[in-house]
A and B are shown apart, each in its own frame.
Chain A
Amino acid sequence: MTPQAYFLRPPRIAVWLISLFASAEEAESILGDLLEEFSHLALKPGVAVARSWYWRQTVKTIAHLASAGFKVAPWSTTATIVGGFLLLRLVSGVPERAIFAVLHRYRVFEHHFNAYVFLATDGIGIGHVIASMFVGCMVALAAKGREMVATLTLGLILCALGGAAALWWVARSGNDLFLGMLLWQVAGSFAIVVGGGIVRTRRSAATALPSDV
Chain B
Amino acid sequence: MPGRDYLGEFEHITILALLRLADRAYGVTVRQEIEFRTSREVSIGAVYATLDRLETKGYVKSHRGDPTPERGGRAKRFFRVTAKGMLAVNRTQRALQNMTDGLDLIRSYS
Contacts and interface: CB of A to CB of B under 8 A. Distances in A.
A201 B74 CA distance: 19
B48 A31 contact: no
B75 interface: yes
Contact of A211 (B26, B44, B75): B75
B67 interface: yes
Tell me what chain A mostly uses at the interface: helix, strand, loop, or mixed: helix
Interface string B49-82: 1001100000000000001011111111100000
A29 B48 contact: yes
Interface stretch (A33-41, A99-107, A191-199): A33-41
Given A29-B26, A29-B27, A68-B49, 20 more contacts: A6-B70, A31-B72, A32-B75, A33-B31, A33-B44, A33-B71, A39-B70, A56-B43, A57-B43, A57-B45, A61-B44, A61-B48, A62-B45, A64-B48, A68-B52, A210-B73, A211-B67, A211-B72, A211-B73, A211-B75
Interface string A31-59: 11111110100000000000000001100
Contacts of A183: none
Given A29-B27, A68-B52, A211-B75, A34 B44 contact: yes
B48 A35 contact: no
B22 interface: no
Interface string A62-84: 11110110000000000000000
Interface residues of B, number: 24
B74 A31 contact: yes
A62 B44 CA distance: 10
Interface in B19-58: 26-28, 31-32, 41, 43-46, 48-49, 52-53
Contacts of B67: 211
Contact of B27 (A5, A30, A63, A65): A30
